[in-house]
Structure 1
Amino acid sequence: MTTQEMLDERYGRRTSPRRRIVLWSIVGVVALTLTALLGWTTVSNTLRSVTATDTGFTVTDASAVTISFQFTAPVGEPVACAIEAQDEDHGTVGWRVVEYPASEDHSRAFTEEIPTLALATTGFVNSCWVP
């Protein structure tokens, strides 16, 4: 009875250690490259991220809402923020994009007024970004 090992030895079908080393080297280089790419993507996204926090709102009347908020952004970069007012059914009754020039301050606070189409019950920062 012949085994697979006997057949491989007879016909010269052996896996060489050199082939195994080359294969694992290629796998290692690919894994290292993907890890470096993921790391760079994470770092580059974090460097330009903007974090916004609502600090309050005041319903002025049926045609306006005043929103107070602060954001943390990269130093020396302009920032744009979308601020929004909603009614009691969570429908958008006011929306505005506000752009701020670059500053040397990491954190800044602002108060903005949004004109509304109907009586709003809340106002907040929808999002902020570096344009």
Structure 2
Amino acid sequence: MAERYGVVPTRRQRLPLVLGVLVSLVLLAWLLWAAWSHSTPAVAGGLTSYDVVSSHQVRVVVDVSRQDGDPVTCTVSAQAEDHVVVGEDDVTFPAGPARTVQTTMTLRTEREATSVAVTDCRAGSGGPGARAPGR
């Protein structure tokens, strides 16, 4: 009968298969968790509008969405026509109950800016250079 149907694998022969399946399941679970956690950030910031006030100033409107009331710090960057960064500053949104917050800030530039972007937003009050909205 063994010649016709083959030999039933022993425990020792099944162990690598079972371990391989378990490792694969753990890796799949981690992959799903990582994809979900990165697709739903706790903080998201964006540029609503900007206006070049002068060759050394840009007025910027920044929106922030947050899941909880923690403070948020965003980095705003201005570039010139040749894509060189001509101004950059952090703006801090204080802790509060609002999930969506908007502020207008004035960004100083070395020379005239042609584009502005919110390059980074993170939970926390930022560093020593961070400014509160409206300043």
Please indicate the TM-score interval, normalised by the length of the shorter structure: 0.7 to 0.9
1:46 CA displacement: 4.5
Which of 1 and 2 has greater Rg? Answer: 1
Number of residue-to-residue matches in the alignment: 119
2:89, 2:25 → 1: CA distance?
45
2:96, 2:31 → 1: CA distance?
30
Determine which of 48, 52, 62 is the counterpart of 1:55.
48
1:77, 1:48 → 2: CA distance?
13
1:120, 1:47 → 2: CA distance?
32
Structure-2 change in CA distance of 1:124 and 1:60 (3 Å): same
Q: Secondary structure at the match of 1:53?
A: strand
Give the number of the structure whose residues are more often helix, by fraction. 1
The residue that corresponds to 1:64 in the other structure is 57
1:15 CA displacement: 7.6
Instruction: Look up the equivalent residue of 2:30 and give its one-letter code.
Output: L
The residue that corresponds to 2:71 in the other structure is 78
Instruction: Look up the equivalent residue of 1:90 and give its one-letter code.
Output: H
Determine which of 100, 105, 118 is the counterpart of 2:98.
105
The residue that corresponds to 2:110 in the other structure is 117
The residue that corresponds to 1:90 in the other structure is 83
1:120, 1:72 → 2: CA distance?
26
Q: Secondary structure at the match of 1:29?
A: helix
* Cα root mean square deviation, aligned: 2.3
The alignment's TM-score, normalised by the length of structure 2, stands at 0.73
Note the residue ranges of structure 2 that are not aligned, 5 or more in a row.
125-135
Identical-pair percentage: 29
1:80, 1:59 → 2: CA distance?
23
The residue that corresponds to 2:128 in the other structure is none
1:31 CA displacement: 1.1
